[in-house]
Amino acid sequence: MSRALVVYESMFGNTKAIAEAIGTALAAEVVEVSDAPDVLPEDVGLLVVGAPTHAFGLSRPATRKSAADQAGAELVSAGRGVREWLDALAPHGRRVTAHAFDTRLRGGWLPGSAAKAIAKRLRALHFEVPERPMSFHVTGTPGPLLVGEPARATAWARAMLTGTPA
Ligand SMILES: Cc1cc2nc3c(=O)[nH]c(=O)nc-3n(C[C@H](O)[C@H](O)[C@H](O)COP(=O)(O)O)c2cc1C
């Protein structure tokens, strides 16, 4: 039977919390990006990928360093980011559905989103990406998430299973 896999990158733990809400709703394995497989397991039919928005897109070593300096001992992702993982991911040659999400600051004044960059890369890797990327919002760089965002993530994930937009 086909299963779901959730892969996340997170500096302060906010993207991790959203990934875990999605993972629970999908009964999926949830893995931090440094532990994510570079060859997608054969039985994965649904992939969900999330990362924090850094400098209008996906993190880079320099933005992760800046986040790590702020996070201190609380740092979650100490290794590679989703950008480097997707660069390393082997072609899978079969139909796999994928969804992209990010966390980002609330309000609309900053352009760009890591989720958009993830969706673009997933499509380039021949994943089926059926919907627009999804953003969940934090109140400041270290968080916390806006009240209700984990519940919104749960609803989004449930909608993936039924094919209805959240
Ligand atoms: C170096 C750096 C750059 C950032 N750039 C952006 C940005 O361009 N747009 C935005 O909305 N948030 C930006 N943020 C805020 C992050 O999106 C926020 O820290 C993240 O959602 C927290 O998730 P995490 O706890 O999983 O790391 C930035 C944060 C850092 C540390």
What are the phi and psi torsion angles at 162 (to 5°)? -100, -15
Question: Residue 165's pLDDT is what?
Answer: 58
Please name which of 36, 37, 20 lies closest in space to residue 28, comparing C-alpha atoms: 20
Task: Quick: pLDDT tens for 2-43.
Answer: 999 999 999 999 999 999 999 999 999 999 999 999 999 999
- Identity of residue 129: V
Q: What's the pLDDT tens digit per position in 38-94?
A: 999 999 999 999 999 999 999 999 999 999 999 999 999 999 999 999 999 998 889
Q: Does ligand 1 lie within 6 Å of residue 101's CB atom?
A: no
Q: Which atom of ligand 1 is nearest to the CA of 64?
A: 1
Q: How far is the CA of 105 from the centre of ligand 1 (A)?
A: 7
Tell me, using a 6 A CB cutoff, whether residue 63 lines ligand 1: yes
Sorted by sequence, the CB contacts under 8 Å of residue 125 that are 6+ apart come out as: 86, 89, 91, 92
Contacts of 145 by beta carbon, 8 Å cutoff, 6+ apart: 14, 17, 18, 103, 136, 137, 138, 139
Whether 40 contacts 81, CB under 8 Å: no
Which of 70, 138, 141 has the most ligand 1 atoms within 8 A of CB, as the residue to mutate?
A: 141
Return d(Cα 106, Cα 109) in angstroms, integer. Answer: 9
Q: How far is the CA of 1 from the centre of ligand 1 (A)?
A: 36
Q: What tokens appear for 151 in the block? A: 């519940």
CA angle (23 as vertex; 21, 27 as ends), nearest 5: 125
Measured from the CB, is residue 66 less than 6 Å from ligand 1? yes
Q: Which residue has the higher pLDDT, 111 or 69?
A: 69
The CA–CA distances, whole Å, from 75 to 57, 85, 155 equal 20, 19, 27
Domain annotation for the chain: domains and CATH numbers: 3-162 (3.40.50.360)
Look at the alpha carbons of 111, 113, 116, 121 in this order and tell me if their dihedral is positive or negative. Answer: positive
Task: Tell whether ligand 1 has an atom less than 6 A from the beta carbon of residue 104.
Answer: yes
**Distance between Cα 57 and ligand 1 center (Å):** 9
The protein residue with its alpha carbon nearest to ligand 1, atom 28, reads: 54
ipTM confidence? 0.99
Atom number, ligand 1, closest to the C-alpha of residue 9: 26
